[in-house]
Amino acid sequence: MEDRIIKTEYSDVMQKSYIDYAMSVIVARALPDVRDGLKPVQRRVLYDMHELGIRSDRPYRKSARIVGDTMGKYHPHGDSSIYDALVVMTQEFKKGLPLVDGHGNFGNIEGDGAAAMRYTEARLQKITEEAFLADLDKDVVDFIPNFDETEKEPSVLPVKVPNLLINGSEGIAVGMATNIPPHNLGEVIDATKAYMKDNNISTRELMRYMKGPDFPTGGIVINKDELLDIYETGAGKIKIRGKVDIEKAKGGKTNVVISEIPFTMIGMGITKFLQDVAALAETKKTMDIVDITNQSSKEGIRIVIELRRDADVQNFINMLYKKTRLEDTFGVNMLAISHGRPETLGLKAIIKECVDFQFQIATRKYNNLLAKELEKKEIQEGLIKACNVIDLVIEILRGSKDRAMAKACLVEGKTDGIKFKSNASKAMASQLLFTEKQANAILEMRLYKLIGLELQALIKDHEDTMANIFKYEDILDRRDSMAQVIMNELDEFKKKYGRERRTVIENGEAAVFEERKVEEMDVYFLMDRFGYCRTVDVATYERNKETADAENKYVFLCKNTGRVCIFTSDGQMHTVKVMDIPFGKFRDKGIPIDNISNYSTERDTIVYVTSQTFLNLYRVIFVTKTSMIKVVSGGEFDVMKRTVAATKLAEDDEVVSVVALTDQRNIVLQSREGYFLRFPIEDIPEKKKAAIGVRGMKMGAKDSIEAVYYTKNAVEQSIEYKGKNVELNKLKLGTRDTKGVKIRV
């Protein structure tokens, strides 16, 4: 037993295991092969459909059948990953060249998902059959065992076009990711042909043919001058904009119509764009918007933004580019599997790999075809020779006792045991010397082959075979001939499946817009006990002061250009721009404060809300559940971040009270067990916001601070505690860090 135990370093085992796992994810799942531009799951789906005979000229088959068959034979992973791959290969808005013809709901550009696989159907596209799967029967690629070694699958598909560039790819592996944009099929073919004619061509010269990405969604690439560096290195950022048209509307108004979107907005990006545009109007960033409608349909994208009559249209469009994803970046990282390992490749390197692969599969294809033609030639020459001496052949067949004797005579010239009509026939028979394949063909030849027309057809077939042999040998012997064959095929694909470029490439000017200058003014912030907040002008508040104070938990004056600070029980301070808070009529409902801040009602509760300007003028006192207490300068909260730590808390502690100190003189701490302690605020030390503080009141192990009150000199203040009136000013004035007095009820 001891001999079977291998002692090794634990870290070495973990390192090796992780590296093996990472490489498995990188090579076998997440990244495409540079030769066919496909990930393993895509390759397996296409090959399975090919094997099932789901071709473009045959009926659609249920997607569930395709997914199940692929999972059972080739891809032993979740069915959702297989179906997702199938869905993406059908979507014209994601792929420049869809490889699967889908029937049913396969999702849309606005982010709606595909229907369940039991409802949808699919079959191969015609180009997939012609350019991806056509020569699998000609031994052009290696076949490898599947996961359980019960089937064979191609290690790579014999793709005849640079699919990695045409359809692009995206995937996240372990420690690396790929993001390759799609390109125009015709332009990629032209660039490939240019490389085949001159292997020393530069990337700049290649880009005369392939100008840049061609996204299915169209749009405008605005950093043309940066594309050369991106395609030389294989990495960089492409800036893309949606296409915007201007239309005249009724009443002298103007419609801004978005007819093409950036490729990065596919999916929920359109909904987010509409929300962002609406937010610009709600937060008063622009007063130009009258209405927004999404009129998109199967015919294409059409988002209409109606502007008021005197709007600065170009300034508004520039604002959309700056403030929304109508202008976005596509991060290029052309990472693919090359020679079994991941590698970042430039444009020329990708085309070189694809061309080298074309020559490899062409060499294997024409070697296979040549071997078949040579075999046909051998048999045809045997049959022609046999027809020339058909009488002798018949004499051999009639004089032989069995097939073996006749075959031995035809192949080796053995005449023993065969009855001939004459010695001359016997002598001629001993000199025939057919090959074994020729002899088998002669023995299996039917008599109708002796008809004159059949003999002529045989001779014509032999001539065709010799022509094919000459052709195939020329292709194999001369690289120029093979290159011409490959380029002819590329021209055919371009002619049949090429389309016009959709994406415009230019050097666009940077979007510059002038923000509407906000006139600074005083407003009142109102927030009710449910967390709905809004702002109103001073006159509106003054008219409704009593109602506003009664209905709202927080009411204070602030500047419309300032910020509101929200202190929460978890010790955080969240800030909100006053401009982001709806400004309107007194009876407007407002907006939940958690919708415009990082504060979450699920995690914590609001302890105190005030304006940042107000905080800067005073000090702030913090009290926690465990009676930790401190005073902090309000200037420490003059920050621009949306969320900062307002105080440090011990484990399982939380903030109970936060108050800005104005004219308060004493603090009263009330515990859950009914202890009250009143002491001067001046006894509380001033600390930094990162400090925990000092103990304010001694309490029992299970006791905690329940409420905090503040008193002023010469101002009577009382509260009701469990049905008993407690006058806070008459409580005995104690010192900090004592137990206080218990109120008996």
Which residues have a catalytic role annotated?
119
Residues 532-545: b if buried by 16+ CB within 10 A, e if exposed: bbbbbbeebbeebe
Closest Cα partner for 412 from 428, 433, 427, 429? 433
242-105-243 Cα angle (round to 5): 10
User: Is residue 612 within 8 Å of residue 565, measured between CB atoms?
Assistant: yes
Closest Cα partner for 169 from 156, 183, 182, 157? 182
> What is the maximal distance between C-alpha atoms in the chain?
151
Give the E-state strand segments of 55-132 in sequence order.
Answer: 61-62, 100-103, 121-124
Closest Cα partner for 58 from 123, 147, 136, 5? 123
Strand partners, 504: 220
**3-class SS shares of the chain: helix, strand, coil, % to 5:** 40, 25, 35
Residue 64 to residue 594: CA distance in whole angstroms: 43
Closest Cα partner for 541 from 529, 554, 553, 557? 557
Residue 404 to residue 409: CA distance in whole angstroms: 9
Residue 637 to residue 66: CA distance in whole angstroms: 60
Backbone angles phi, psi at 141, to 5 degrees: -135, 160
Residue type, 463: E
Helix (H) or strand (E) holding 270: helix 269-282
User: HEC string of 636-671?
Assistant: HHCCCCCEEECCCCCCCCCEEEEEEECCCCEEEEEE
